[in-house]
Each structure stands twice: as C-alpha cells, then as structure tokens.
C-alpha cells in the first residue's frame, strides 16, 4: 500500500481546519498511520523545501511555515500520493476546483492551507524527514469494505 506525507500548514491549523482536513482523508477511506502537531524549525523546513531553495518566494515560504504549529501526517492506501494531491487541489487555490480543500478554503498560493507529496519518491523522503521514528501498522489489515 502506498503512503503519502500530508501536512496542515500553520494557516490551516490557526483557522481550525484540522478536523475538516483529516475528515476528508478518513471519509475517502485512507488510513492514518502517523500524526503529530509540531512547530518545525527553520532548518527542518529548509530540508523539506530544499528543491525550492532558489525560488524568490523561498524566504517567505520558510517564514510562513515556521510561524506556528503544523499537523504532520502520513496517510496510507491505494494511489495515496496522486489521490492525496487531488483531495488537496491545485497549488494555487485560485486554480483549485470547488470540492478540493484548497478550492473550498483558500485564495492565496502563499496561504494554501496544506501540503501533499508530489511523487512516491518524495513521499518516502518526506516521511523519513518528519517521522524518523517510523509509522504505525494496523493489526487488522485492509478493510474489505474499502478495497475489493
Ligand atoms: P506543496 O509542496 O505545499 O504541496 O505545494 P506544491 O508541491 O504544489 O508546490 P511547490 O511549487 O512545491 O511550492 C511549495 C509551496 O510554496 C508556496 N509557493 N508560494 N508565492 C509563490 O509564488 C509561491 N509559489 C509556491 C506554496 O505554499 C506552495 O504550496
């Protein structure tokens, strides 16, 4: 089963959207295998966003992400990376479809409420960065009412 790293950014936490965002993944059928509320250090965020270090918005992005607690999560299930991004919506909320998290709750790209891994390989790296202690396993396995 595929795993993806999903994060509720400081704006999403401060706006009280934690339950709403978790609920969308749960109701879709994905399984929560790791969760923590944490205020990340700038060094940690610079590692997470290393690919964007050359971008003009990098400093503002790090300031925003270090401004308060985030909810770091790992969700597991079929095609979790791609479907996770679909649930979040497009990076720029103005381009996000209604019914997606960003399409329902955000306007500005610099306050887009959530993050989701963009590929299986980056998901693995992000999960290792945010959860070096590892993730949970469920003893009962896959739910036959979710998967054929
Ligand atoms: P994310 O990692 O948050 O899911 O976003 P993404 O892959 O869809 O987008 P990426 O290009 O990796 O950008 C990461 C985050 O940087 C902020 N951003 N600001 N001001 C700007 O022009 C700008 N562009 C990107 C967003 O918060 C974006 O989610």
Task: Answer yes or no: is the C-beta of 117 below 6 A from any ligand 1 atom.
Answer: no
Q: Looking at this predicted complex, what is its ipTM?
A: 0.92
**What is the per-residue DSSP string for 102-138?**
HHHH---GGG--EEE-SSHHHHHHHHHHH-TT-----
Q: Cα dist. 127→4, 113, 148 in Å?
A: 8, 19, 27
- Between CA 70 and CA 58 the distance in angstroms is 18
Q: How confident is the model at residue 41 (pLDDT cuts 50, 70, 90)?
A: very high
What pLDDT is attached to residue 139? 81
Question: In whole angstroms, what is the distance from residue 86 CA to residue 3 CA?
Answer: 15
pLDDT band at 140 (very low <50, low <70, confident <90, very high): confident
Find the radius of gyration of the CA atoms of the chain: 15
Q: What is the pLDDT of residues 63-72, one digit of tens each?
A: 999 999 999 9
Instruction: Judge if the beta carbon of residue 118 lies within 6 A of ligand 1.
Output: yes
Pocket-testing residue among 81, 109, 111, ligand 1, by greatest number of atoms within 8 A of Cβ: 109
pLDDT in tens, 98-131: 999 999 999 999 999 999 999 999 999 999 999 9
Q: Rounded CA gap, 70 and 64, in Å?
A: 11
Largest CA distance in the chain: 47
């Amino acid at each position: 089963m595929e795993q993806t790293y999903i994060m509720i950014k400081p704006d999403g936490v401060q706006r009280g959207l934690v339950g709403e965002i978790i609920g969308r993944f749960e109701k879709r059928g994905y399984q929560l295998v790791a969760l923590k509320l944490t205020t990340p250090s700038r060094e940690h965020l610079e590692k997470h966003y290393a690919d964007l270090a050359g971008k003009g918005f990098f400093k503002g992005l790090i300031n925003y992400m270090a401004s308060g607690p985030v909810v770091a999560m790992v969700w597991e299930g079929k095609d979790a990376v791609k479907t996770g991004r679909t649930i979040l919506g497009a990076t720029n909320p103005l381009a996000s479809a209604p019914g997606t998290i960003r399409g329902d709750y955000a306007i500005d790209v610099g306050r887009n409420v959530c993050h989701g891994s963009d590929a299986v390989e980056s998901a693995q790296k992000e999960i290792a960065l945010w959860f070096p202690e590892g993730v949970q396993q469920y003893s009962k396995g896959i739910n036959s009412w979710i998967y054929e």
